[in-house]
Structure 1
């Protein structure tokens, strides 16, 4: 049985964490010594860069003691090897991590899976992983895997378009220009009011008699 939910902790309209619980009913003679948990995420960006991909998070843990449950807390982090696009919809990596079209054993080989996934220029991984292994499962109780995955704020690197560059360049230029004009006027008033340089005031449209 699998239970999952996403929660918005700070009520900003965006999910902050994923809570998932998996219950595996084992035979009375079965024991659990290790866990490999593969979490698939539908990763989307909407602002600055419209990006969409299916990504992966992996949890692996083992123990010499038969376990009753595994509790994990981790952060989902974005890993970039290149800048994202700012124009159009970027769905280069919006493909299944597990190649379900290839009905061969090699398609589900973990070494092959990790190698192909690592070749992507944009991926996700679980960091700050804190596992807690609990031993002593009763024979009639299921083995439980509970995971809490936080979605922390990310710094997204992308290549801006022409108009985005012009927009921010104009804002920066205008702010510097206003400060420069203000300082220049103060200097000019100080110089002329204290007669630091020889000046003559003339009014062209008035005739002197």
Structure 2
């Protein structure tokens, strides 16, 4: 007949001595070492306190409908400007563009724009060609990231900290042209940060949700001032991985710009529970190893009676 293990339990042996004994001092010392040494090791290994973290999320970007296009020609005295700001209309600035076309495409129907197309056409006088142009597009940029912070021990539900960002950003494009009146540009919008943004579960960061251009000040429409003011922000957007192709020379200048909105790397300051969770994982991993080593040392000390103590053994009592 086969014999199987039905139940097992550990035999508890108790070692006792006075409070101010050597044996008790040994126990207190090893306990403190077991608590302190993991902290020292994990802290000196760096990265113990999580000061910042990153997460990837696709932003919600919408074109605000505001643009400025300034074209320089081979005739120094002749420039073309296209825009839709009220300041220029009120001061009798003539819009030179014959057609502006904007298309925003949501490929996966998640409510966020994935592809932005901007098309501009400008009729040129005979023997006039564009040598350089500057383009500014204003964007409404929203980013809302839900990060698992900790778990409620009572309800067993995950608690999420929300990193919210709402700002006004720009697309800046400056190009030099030679013997062409058609240019096609494809690029990707990227996020840049100088320092991490603090995440608050109930507050959306609107520190940078201010207009770069003062609509009542003509100097604020100058490209040098726009660029200077824009790059004073902590968080900005810019174009990267730009690919260009050119057409021939004609009396109709055409600019076609395509921008993709991929996931952006968001740089933020983590919340309290996320910092504690990261530190606890490092601490407990070292603590368990050291606890096993100290337990072996304690077993050796008490099994070999290195200190004087009173042993309370249930087996010995039964024999007696």
Give the TM-score of the pair, scaled to structure 2: 0.51
Aligned partners of 2:124 and 2:253 also within 8 Å: no
Residues 1:45 and 2:160 are matched in the alignment: no
Distance 2:188 2:170 in 1: 12
Residues 1:33 and 2:128 are matched in the alignment: no
Distance 2:124 2:186 in 1: 28
Counterpart position of 1:78: 191
Counterpart position of 2:319: 208
Counterpart position of 2:102: 3
Counterpart position of 2:169: 55
Structure 1 66/16 Cα, relative in aligned 2: closer, same or farther at 3 Å?
same
Structure 1 segments, 4+ long, off by >4 Å, are: 171-174, 197-203
Give the TM-score of the pair, scaled to structure 1: 0.74
Structure 1 65/54 Cα, relative in aligned 2: closer, same or farther at 3 Å?
same
One of 223, 246, 250 as aligned partner of 1:133: 246
Structure 1 or 2: larger strand share?
A: 2
Deviation digits for residues 119-150 of structure 1 (CA, Å, limit 9, x no counterpart): 1111111122222221233x4xx432212222
Of 39-48 and 24-33, more deviation after overlay is shown by: 24-33
Aligned partners of 1:77 and 1:154 also within 8 Å: yes
Gaps of 5+ in 2: 1-99, 146-161, 306-310
Distance 1:40 1:202 in 2: 80
Residues 1:164 and 2:274 are matched in the alignment: yes
Aligned Cα root-mean-square deviation (Å): 3.3
Shift of 1:64: 2.3
Other structure's SS at 2:267 match: coil
Counterpart position of 2:119: 22
Structure 1 167/6 Cα, relative in aligned 2: closer, same or farther at 3 Å?
farther
Counterpart position of 2:214: 99
Distance 2:279 2:170 in 1: 37
Shift of 1:42: 1.7
Deviation digits for residues 147-167 of structure 1 (CA, Å, limit 9, x no counterpart): 222234333221222233223
Gaps of 5+ in 1: none
* Higher Cα Rg, which structure: 2
Deviation digits for residues 99-132 of structure 1 (CA, Å, limit 9, x no counterpart): 22x2x32121111111111111111111222222
Distance 1:171 1:65 in 2: 62
Other structure's SS at 2:228 match: helix
Structure 1 segment 129-208 matched on structure 2, within 5 A = 129-137=242-250, 139=251, 142-173=252-283, 176=285, 180=289, 184=292, 203-204=313-314, 206-208=317-319
One of 189, 211, 235 as aligned partner of 1:122: 235
Distance 1:199 1:16 in 2: 74
